[in-house]
Structure 1
Amino acid sequence: MSKSNPTDRPRAAPMFKAPQTPAQTNPIPSSSPAFGTPAHPIRPFNAVPAAAKQSVLPILLPPATLRPVAFRTFTKKHSLTLTSSALQVLATFIGRHCGTGWREEGLAERVLEEVAKSWKNYSKGVIVEGDSTELKDILKNLEGSMIGGRIVASRELSRQNSLNLGPSQYGDDSTTRLGLRPGSLGREDSQSSLGMSMLEMDENDEDALKDPRKWLKVIDAFEQPRLVYNVAKKHFDRDSSKPSLLPQASHKTQVFRNRYNLIHQRILRNESFQTSAVEASKTPSLKRTSSALATAQQSYKLTPIANLLGRNGSNHMILGLLTISPTGTLAINDLTGSIALDLSHAKPVPEDGAWFAPGMIVLVDGIYEEDDNHGGTLGGNGGVGGTIGGKFIGFFIGGPPCERRSVTLGLTGTNGEGDTTAGGGFGWVDFLGVGSERAVGSKMRKLEQRLLGKRLEEGDGVGRGRMIIVGEINLDQPRTLQALKKLLGIYAAEPEDDTPMTFILMGNFVQHAVMARGGSGGSIEYKEYFDALASTLSEYPTLLQAATFIFVPGDNDGWASSFSAGAATCLPRKGVPEMFTSRIKRAFATANAEAEKEGGKRADGDAIWTSNPSRLTVFGPMHEILVLRDNMSGRLRRTAVQFASAKSSDGDGDVEMAPTPALPPPATEIDEDVQEAESHEPEAISEEDKLTHDTHIARKLVKTVLDQGYLSPFGLAIRPVLWDYASALQVYPLPTAMVLADTEAPAFCVTYEGCHVMNPGGIVAPGRRGVARWVEYDLLNKVGKVREALF
């Protein structure tokens, strides 16, 4: 059989011939290798006539007209930056091939979508250059698949771009066919993870992904993407500047600006600060309805501090940073100015429900009282950017209302797991570099159901989705290692399939800052303590082979304690240096080698030394666990503002005063001395009262931290912060779970606004002899519980 000419129409039997049209020409698709079509394809029955290509009337599309659409597609959706030359090239291409239907029919958005996806598969760069060879090749290939201004191979293109994960980038593994291989969620491609939303799940690769621990990722605070909220765009921008430990002084001001802008936009999204446009447009009426009254009561308005000038005696609500002025009095600052704050008559909301310390951003409702001597200003600066004369008398003070994670990410379905297209929020933002909620959220939920949900239903390996959290492991105390052996022995006795996913061991790993010659010993003794820990872990090889051990340092650990001497160090802080932990890593390598030698199976237990704070993610953005080691409750009690209302009695009525005592006998002073010298047994506190007190302290601590949305809500003199890494301390959006290891607070597990907060305390329960204590967190149900055992 002779080969036909590619330019001739292929012959077929009459019964298979498609109906002829007058203007029909050769409908053979392009034979470009980019689209995988053969050199001599068979003519499809539903081929669109090539004459349709001539129906598009080219137009001259100005780049400025296309800029909003290109910005929405490239920058907001794909986190790419278009240069002016690239925008000119795209405008010329769309005007020539899409014509007048580029806006009304949405042809331009489809073209830009395919160009953005193809660019991310060509290059790792985020800047799209107009004179680049990659962009020219993309447009050349795209031109061959367009008919009548439409991309006829859009679906095939999207699938090819999404699944074309070459072995040079991700390795030759069967799971790369999914596009969901754990390594594919790296930080380099975190902003380019949008293509994953087009992928299909492959049920044949279940064996390769049967271990949920493969999807566990530990994100160091120094490697976390540094995002800054852009007030003009109302979106998050990536800080592209190089961070430094000794930055410019302007970066210190930027830390406050970022915190304020983030909380300010969060408050404006709250329903209590949104005025109904329908009620505002109505004509005022004397008739009072319940709905109108409710709207008036729930609507609040924030007033900038600079706008208080000339409004003496008026009531306002202000949002600002609580600080201490150079004169020693309280003041409140925002981006427009500063004013003295009088809280002598203030009442906290809720009462005794949170701490308010200098360094926190608070809401204050009160009256502005003008200074008669200075006319309301100080230094003639009009209040803008300076201190306003007079004072603000606060009647109510409270923290900024918290926002649920589902609201922040724009999840509108049941339990925050539904479609995100109808909701607002920041679902497209990749906060941690593991993929955004809109990009990979739905796929990760299916994967979680396969790996954890089915096991729970079948009762096979139900304990695999657990995290064991242990706090304050003082290796220089013998009782600590005894308690740790008891804990590890409990989980080592369980079946291998039920081994917990990870163990989180938290410092301080020494009771005193030995690196600063505190307590006894120095760096040599400090290494010996970790060698003793390595010997303890080596006794449980099954745990080392099947679990990931994560170590989070405290303030007494090296190297930071060498110059802080156990005081509060800068946050975030790096992990323990490798020179002290080499024996522990050797223990894991030995356990894995023995498992491969004896059973012939591959063991990949691992030890990770991370920063404080750090974040753990499981299944991408599905589970985010924030880990912080800090004695925050004690610092809050020392620095919090005391209110007069808390000291006064609860009753508002008359107080019955005691009668005037009679004159004491001459021997009263001697009797008092004897009375003080005698031993008195203190009143016993009931277990119920102690439990109520511990619960109250836990809720107070959790509400304070999550309302602030910041892990160091103190002044920089109280808790230093590395300015360029302050974005790692933001608690926005709320994580699914948070570990706040505080030895000065009782152990607890509390849920607030959908965020489950856990405090394991110390591994050795204080005041109780021979009791080991830790927290066990269930990843699937998102619930933790405090566990205890005798040793």
Structure 2
Amino acid sequence: MDKLKKKITTAFKLSGYVIRSENATYLAEQLLPFEASEHDKWLTTVIENIQNLKITSTNIDRVVIDKAIGEINRVGLQEHETIFDVIDAFQAPRFVYNTQSKKFEYDKKPRSVLADPEMQVGYLEQRYNMLYQKTIRHELFSPSIIEKTSGQEVKKFKLLNVENLLASTELKECVVLGQLNQIEEGKMFLEDLTGYVRVDLTSTRYHAGFFCEGSFVLAEGSYENKVFKVEGMGFPPAEPATSSRAFFGTANSWGGKSEKLLKYSVALQEAERTNTDATMVFLSDVHLDDAEVLKKLKKLFIGYDSCPPVCIVLMGPFSTKANNFFQLVPLFKQLAEAASGCDQLKKETDLILVPHPRDPIEMDIFPRHGIPPPLCSDLLKAWPRTKLVSNPCRLQYCTQQILVFRMDLMARMARNAIHFPENKDIDNHFARTLICQGHLTPFARFINPILWDYDTSMWLYPLPDLVVIGDSCQSFSITQHGCTILNTGSFPKSGFSFKMYIPATKTIEDSEIPDGFPEDNVAPASSSEEEEAEEENVLDQQVVEEDVEQLAESEVVDIEDSEIPNVSPMENLEEDTEIQPDPYDELPSVSGLKKHQIPGALTEEEEAQIRMVQELELDSDSD
């Protein structure tokens, strides 16, 4: 190490730089894993990268060294291209559909949690326009009514607005795109940008999916007597991401540091294909106040220390009992302690914490801000690559787009559905609902409040490659229209199972933390403590044997040897049991036995006889 440090200091001096001893030590630690013959080559590369950084000072600190090493890992990538990035929901860009140019345009207006009043309906207008533009392009909706294709007649439909119905007395075969709302109690209405109309759902045939109040639907039926009698109801058609991106141009609709979308980067595609060892780990319901969960997390960290994944995503709730955020501080400290000793993991892996609506951080509204850094100060010191992100959040790995959302969506959909699917394949209904709605929470605002200015961060349009839902129901994975919907399930309820995603092959593996590791038991004692404990056990055993012999030979109490088991005094005591002092411990005894030394060995009658002898001995001493 000293020889390498001296070589580093000399090389930097020859290049006109000054590096302090601790920084030279840090760089030496980075070079040590390589062969000694390669040290000169890598040291030269680091210095060249520092020269390319165009720094103004000749003093080289650790930040500059990290940047230089980072440039080595970015061989072949442009300046704006990143292998992995975490995007907060409040940093995700907002694109608005321009009805004139038929394109999505980047909205540069400043956003706020306290949005302008017009955004109360504005965010619903933006969502409606997004669904309308992809629906009107579908092959079923075109200007012609009948089109002949290969000798077959394909029926087309004309998409109407609500105002078209209200302006007529009677219409047949109407198809309307609108939002289901209960404007009057007990009566359902279909609403779009032009108005609303009452709907009759008594004889409606429902297609696949969960139809909830607040969902956008395609309703087919007839209009008469100011009532739209719906015969069939479905969702807006799904659209592959490749088709959707054409209306965004080259703009980065996903978010991140790059101004251009990284989906088509050749260098990132090659990096994604060749890095077959890259993995991503997802867990939900990580209750840090559960001792068993912490044990399993420690196992997880130790297991991945030798082969660190790209990231480990932990989703809340992080406490089952906390009702204020100060109670989370010791829990995150315990999480930091669980990762102690896993230096390689903490060096190469991003730990991502996604809060649950029940975590006492802020009001129950989406998107939710991440956990405040002061609550995780111990964790951030122990694991500097910890990311405290929003719920939901976006991940970018090479060219892949991944969205993470923690919410019990399945139960909420089932609870608020106006019609429960007859088909028992609930997982497919769930996935189809999200993909067709293009939104994570397709509910009315009173069911699931939304921050108006940040509703677009909840969009699933264009469709990402992977949507990770941290739902407590049974885990599943379904792929539709090139988008995979993955539910991780509950970490403690599923026998401590979790999901591992392999980006190179776009595959998902079910994983489980087995029992039987040493971490399941009490931590082993030190060698000195073990020797002391062993000596105490030997002495206790000798005392017991002597007492048994004396008791057996006593003329006062006649007890057979077989009635007194040869056991350790502490064998039947639990670890947390506190031994109360015996009132007869300080009294002289014929046999020298103490009551708690052989638990359960004497009957009540025998104990009474011993006590009588002890009292007689006291009386004789006093005389």
Task: Note whether the superposition's TM-score is higher than 0.5.
Answer: yes
CA-CA distance at 1:764 after TM superposition: 1.4
Q: Is the 8 A contact 2:86 2:256 kept in 1?
A: no
Q: Which residue of 2 aligns with 1:322?
A: 180
Tell me, in whole angstroms, the C-alpha distance in 2 between the residues paired with 1:335 and 1:641.
23
Amino acid of the structure 1 residue aligned with 2:150 = S
Give per-residue Cα distances to partners, 1:467-515, cap 9 Å, x unaligned. Answer: 01111101112221122223223322x4xxx421111111111124521
CA-CA distance at 1:528 after TM superposition: 0.8
Q: Which residue of 1 aligns with 2:416?
A: 639
Q: Residue 714 and residue 439 in structure 1: after superposition, are their counterparts in 2 closer, same or farther (change >3 A)?
A: closer
2:353 to 524, 537, 551: 551
Tell me, in whole angstroms, the C-alpha distance in 2 between the residues paired with 1:307 and 1:507.
47
Give per-residue Cα distances to partners, 1:111-143, cap 9 Å, x unaligned. Answer: xxxxxxxxxxxxxxxxxxxxxxxxxxxxxxxxx
2:273 to 453, 457, 463: 453
Tell me, in whole angstroms, the C-alpha distance in 2 between the residues paired with 1:206 and 1:472.
35
1:730-745 equivalence runs, <5 A: 730-743=459-472, 745=473
Does residue 467 in structure 1 map to residue 335 in structure 2?
Answer: no
Q: Residue 640 and residue 209 in structure 1: after superposition, are their counterparts in 2 closer, same or farther (change >3 A)?
A: same
Amino acid of the structure 2 residue aligned with 1:571 = F
Q: Which residue of 1 aligns with 2:289?
A: 476
Q: Residue 367 and residue 513 in structure 1: after superposition, are their counterparts in 2 closer, same or farther (change >3 A)?
A: farther
Q: Which residue of 1 aligns with 2:389?
A: 610
- SS in structure 1 of the partner of residue 244 of structure 2: helix
- SS in structure 2 of the partner of residue 641 of structure 1: strand
CA-CA distance at 1:624 after TM superposition: 0.6
Amino acid of the structure 2 residue aligned with 1:258 = Q
Q: Which residue of 2 aligns with 1:394?
A: 230
Q: Which residue of 2 aligns with 1:224?
A: 92
Q: Which residue of 1 aligns with 2:163?
A: 306
Q: Which residue of 1 aligns with 2:383?
A: 588
Amino acid of the structure 1 residue aligned with 2:461 = Y
Higher strand share: 2
Q: Which residue of 2 aligns with 1:430?
A: 252
Tell me, in whole angstroms, the C-alpha distance in 2 between the residues paired with 1:268 and 1:719.
28
Q: Which residue of 2 aligns with 1:530?
A: 332
2:195 to 334, 337, 356: 337
- SS in structure 1 of the partner of residue 177 of structure 2: strand
Amino acid of the structure 1 residue aligned with 2:302 = G
1:99-138 equivalence runs, <5 A: none
Q: Which residue of 2 aligns with 1:720?
A: 449
Tell me, in whole angstroms, the C-alpha distance in 2 between the residues paired with 1:490 and 1:613.
28
CA-CA distance at 1:409 after TM superposition: 2.0
- SS in structure 2 of the partner of residue 295 of structure 1: strand
Q: Residue 166 and residue 228 in structure 1: after superposition, are their counterparts in 2 closer, same or farther (change >3 A)?
A: farther
Q: Residue 634 and residue 222 in structure 1: after superposition, are their counterparts in 2 closer, same or farther (change >3 A)?
A: same
Does residue 291 in structure 1 map to residue 291 in structure 2?
Answer: no
1:760 to 476, 488, 507: 488
CA-CA distance at 1:452 after TM superposition: 4.1
Q: Which residue of 1 aligns with 2:217?
A: 362
Q: Which residue of 2 aligns with 1:56?
A: none
Does residue 238 in structure 1 map to residue 106 in structure 2?
Answer: yes
CA-CA distance at 1:789 after TM superposition: 3.0
1:343-358 equivalence runs, <5 A: 343-349=201-207, 353-358=208-213
Q: Percent identity at matched positions? A: 29
CA-CA distance at 1:240 after TM superposition: 2.7
CA-CA distance at 1:784 after TM superposition: 1.4
Tell me, in whole angstroms, the C-alpha distance in 1 between the residues paired with 2:90 and 2:70.
19
Which runs of no fewer than 5 residues in structure 2 stay unpaired? 1-51, 61-67, 516-623
Q: Is the 8 A contact 1:321 1:334 kept in 2?
A: yes
2:139 to 267, 271, 283: 271
CA-CA distance at 1:707 after TM superposition: 0.8
- SS in structure 1 of the partner of residue 335 of structure 2: helix
Q: Residue 479 and residue 294 in structure 1: after superposition, are their counterparts in 2 closer, same or farther (change >3 A)?
A: farther
- SS in structure 1 of the partner of residue 214 of structure 2: coil
> TM-score when scaled to structure 2?
0.67
1:651-662 equivalence runs, <5 A: none
CA-CA distance at 1:328 after TM superposition: 2.8
Tell me, in whole angstroms, the C-alpha distance in 2 between the residues paired with 1:310 and 1:637.
36
Amino acid of the structure 1 residue aligned with 2:502 = D
Amino acid of the structure 2 residue aligned with 1:586 = K
Q: Residue 448 and residue 245 in structure 1: after superposition, are their counterparts in 2 closer, same or farther (change >3 A)?
A: same
Tell me, in whole angstroms, the C-alpha distance in 2 between the residues paired with 1:514 and 1:205.
44
Q: Is the 8 A contact 1:487 1:772 kept in 2?
A: no
1:30-45 equivalence runs, <5 A: none
Q: Which residue of 2 aligns with 1:772?
A: 496
Tell me, in whole angstroms, the C-alpha distance in 2 between the residues paired with 1:706 and 1:774.
24
Amino acid of the structure 1 residue aligned with 2:274 = K
Q: Which residue of 1 aligns with 2:38?
A: none
Aligned residues: 452
Amino acid of the structure 1 residue aligned with 2:383 = F
Tell me, in whole angstroms, the C-alpha distance in 2 between the residues paired with 1:526 and 1:435.
31
Tell me, in whole angstroms, the C-alpha distance in 2 between the residues paired with 1:321 and 1:778.
38
Does residue 514 in structure 1 map to residue 242 in structure 2?
Answer: no
> TM-score when scaled to structure 1?
0.54
- SS in structure 2 of the partner of residue 582 of structure 1: helix
- SS in structure 1 of the partner of residue 154 of structure 2: helix
1:150-189 equivalence runs, <5 A: 167=54
Does residue 789 in structure 1 map to residue 513 in structure 2?
Answer: yes
Q: Which moved more, 1:712-721 or 1:241-250?
A: 241-250
CA-CA distance at 1:786 after TM superposition: 2.2
Q: Is the 8 A contact 2:177 2:218 kept in 1?
A: yes
Amino acid of the structure 2 residue aligned with 1:642 = H
Runs (4+) of structure 1 exceeding 6 A deviation are 181-184, 435-439
Q: Is the 8 A contact 1:324 1:330 kept in 2?
A: yes
Tell me, in whole angstroms, the C-alpha distance in 2 between the residues paired with 1:716 and 1:545.
42
Q: Is the 8 A contact 2:92 2:256 kept in 1?
A: no
Give per-residue Cα distances to partners, 1:258-285, cap 9 Å, x unaligned. Answer: 01000000112222223569x76xxxxx
Q: Residue 347 and residue 218 in structure 1: after superposition, are their counterparts in 2 closer, same or farther (change >3 A)?
A: same
Q: Which residue of 2 aligns with 1:188?
A: none
Amino acid of the structure 2 residue aligned with 1:267 = T
- SS in structure 2 of the partner of residue 265 of structure 1: helix
- SS in structure 1 of the partner of residue 199 of structure 2: strand
Larger Rg: 1 or 2? 2
Q: Is the 8 A contact 1:512 1:556 kept in 2?
A: no
Q: Is the 8 A contact 1:748 1:786 kept in 2?
A: no
CA-CA distance at 1:541 after TM superposition: 2.0
Tell me, in whole angstroms, the C-alpha distance in 2 between the residues paired with 1:356 and 1:584.
42
Tell me, in whole angstroms, the C-alpha distance in 2 between the residues paired with 1:641 and 1:753.
26
Q: Which residue of 2 aligns with 1:711?
A: 440
Q: Is the 8 A contact 2:179 2:216 kept in 1?
A: yes
